Amino acid sequence: MLKQKITDLLEEALSKNQSLFLINFDMDDSNNVKIIIDGDSGVTLNDCIAVSRAIEHNIDREAYDFALEVASAGATSPLVFSRQYKKNIGRTLEVKQKIGDTLEGVLSEVSENEIKITWEAREPKPVGRGKITVEKNAVIPFSNIKQSKVKIIFN
């Protein structure tokens, strides 16, 4: 009953800000509720407060005892939905594949079914001695992604 009420209020709150979307919703046996949201342009503290208030202010505290936490997906949280990939075009990802190696490269394209990452590699020259830098790329279907994370790079 409480979980359904929270789900309904959450859906209503997210429908008021179309750039926000749900990443995870957990509720344990003690009614501790944790909601993780993300947004096409990121998530602000005010976004989290708005979602929290939309839920908190519409549930009778006399009838239900619960704890509510609304947070944004962290910078190092795995990417789950294609919407998250789209907002990270141009950033470096580490992609663990179900079949194949773990790849690291710049996310260059996102389609409905796959992503494309590019990176530079040093390879032997086709003629002569030494190495040259070449641009490599990989197209990875979402169905083959075990986990992807944005790499935080400090210069």
Q: What is the DSSP string of 134-152?
A: EEEEEEEEGGGEEEEEEPP
Q: Which CATH class is domain 2-72?
A: alpha beta
- Please state, in angstroms and as integers, the Cα–Cα distance from residue 142 to each residue in 56, 69, 71, 78, 113, following that order: 36, 30, 25, 13, 6
Residue by residue, pLDDT tens for the chain (155 residues) are: 899 999 999 999 999 999 999 999 999 999 999 999 999 988 999 999 999 999 999 999 889 999 999 999 887 789 989 899 999 999 999 999 999 999 999 999 999 999 999 999 999 998 888 999 999 999 999 999 999 999 987 77
Specify burial of residue 79 (Cβ count, 10 A radius: 0-12, 13-18, 19+): buried
Distance CA 143, CA 150 (A): 18
Q: Where along the chain do its domains lie?
A: 2-72, 82-150
Q: Which two tokens stand for residue 98?
A: 């179900």
pLDDT of residue 107: 97
* Residues, the chain: 155
Question: What is the pLDDT at residue 143?
Answer: 96
The confidence score (pLDDT) of residue 68 equals 96
C-alpha 50/C-alpha 4 separation (Å) is 19
Find tokens 């046996």 and name the residue: 29
118 contacts 90 by C-beta, under 8 angstroms = no
- How far apart CA 45 and CA 71 sit, in angstroms, is 8
The residue type found at 121 is: A
CATH architecture of 82-150: Roll (2.30)
